């Protein structure tokens, strides 16, 4: 069975997205093209156009898949942590930082303005799923006086900022540490008693 026959019946789109992620992570956004993905998957150069209306539509689909991987890494890391709220929060944040370190180009893509400005319903759903994991974990703590979502926004800002500083080699103080000093950057919050 040829590659083209194998992808004829409904599984070409996921194969194109998977190949796009591989190329993105190896070569960055500038190295990604519909033509290159078609070659990687083994289909005609015109085949991706049946699924994506140009490169930006492909990037949006890749970003949606990226958010699913991101959510999975956060959830798995959170689930491996001890049962207390602080450990769960640190676990989730370790998953966040792990994704940023292991999937640098994908991390950059999912938070890029270009993708956000062209988001479709699937991307919005996948990105909200990631935020919901953070919100659920922050809901283990007493809410901030500023509202229920403010803890999640604060933690997101701190961890995302740290991930970006580390990715851009701006965080000199901890560059030789293998474990991120989450205890140093995460604020003390009061766990809920019930």
- With beta carbons less than 8 A apart as the criterion, state whether 54 and 48 touch: no
Per the DSSP assignment, residues forming a β-bridge with 144 are 147
Of the given ranges (110-119, 123-132, 160-169), which has the lowest mean pLDDT? 160-169
Q: Show me where the domains of the chain are located.
A: 1-52, 56-185
Which of the following CATH numbers is that of domain 1-52: 3.30.565.10, 3.40.640.10, 1.10.10.60, 1.10.730.10?
A: 1.10.10.60
pLDDT top residue among 179 and 31: 31
Q: How far apart are CA 138 and CA 89, in angstroms?
A: 7
pLDDT in tens, 24-63: 999 988 888 888 999 999 998 888 888 888 889 999 999 9
Residue 164 to residues 7, 9, 30, 99, 159, Cα–Cα distance (Å): 37, 40, 20, 12, 9
Distance of CA 73 to the CA centre of its chain: 9
- Is it the case that residue 3 has pLDDT exceeding 50? no
Separation in Å, CA 135 to CA 12, 81, 144, 150: 34, 17, 13, 9
What's domain 56-185's architecture? Orthogonal Bundle (1.10)
**Can you give the length of the chain in residues?**
194
Whole-angstrom distance, CA of residue 146 vs CA of residue 160: 20
């Amino acid at each position: 069975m040829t590659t083209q026959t194998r992808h004829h019946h409904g599984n070409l789109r996921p194969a194109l997205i998977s190949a796009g992620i591989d190329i993105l992570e190896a070569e960055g956004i500038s190295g990604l093209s519909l033509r290159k993905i078609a070659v990687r998957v083994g289909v005609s150069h015109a085949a991706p156009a049946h699924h994506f209306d140009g490169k930006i539509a492909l990037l949006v689909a890749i970003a949606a898949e990226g958010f699913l991987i991101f959510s999975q890494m956060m959830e798995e890391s959170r689930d491996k942590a001890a049962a207390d709220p602080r450990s769960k929060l640190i676990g989730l944040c370790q998953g966040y930082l792990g994704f940023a370190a292991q999937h640098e180009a994908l991390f950059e893509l999912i938070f890029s303005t270009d993708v956000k400005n062209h988001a479709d319903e699937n991307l919005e759903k996948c990105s909200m799923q990631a935020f919901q994991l953070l919100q659920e974990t922050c809901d283990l703590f007493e809410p901030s006086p500023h509202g229920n979502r403010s803890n999640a926004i604060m933690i997101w800002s701190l961890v995302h900022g740290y991930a970006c500083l580390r990715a851009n080699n701006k965080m000199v103080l901890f560059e030789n540490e293998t474990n991120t000093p989450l205890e140093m950057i995460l604020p003390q919050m009061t766990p809920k008693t019930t």
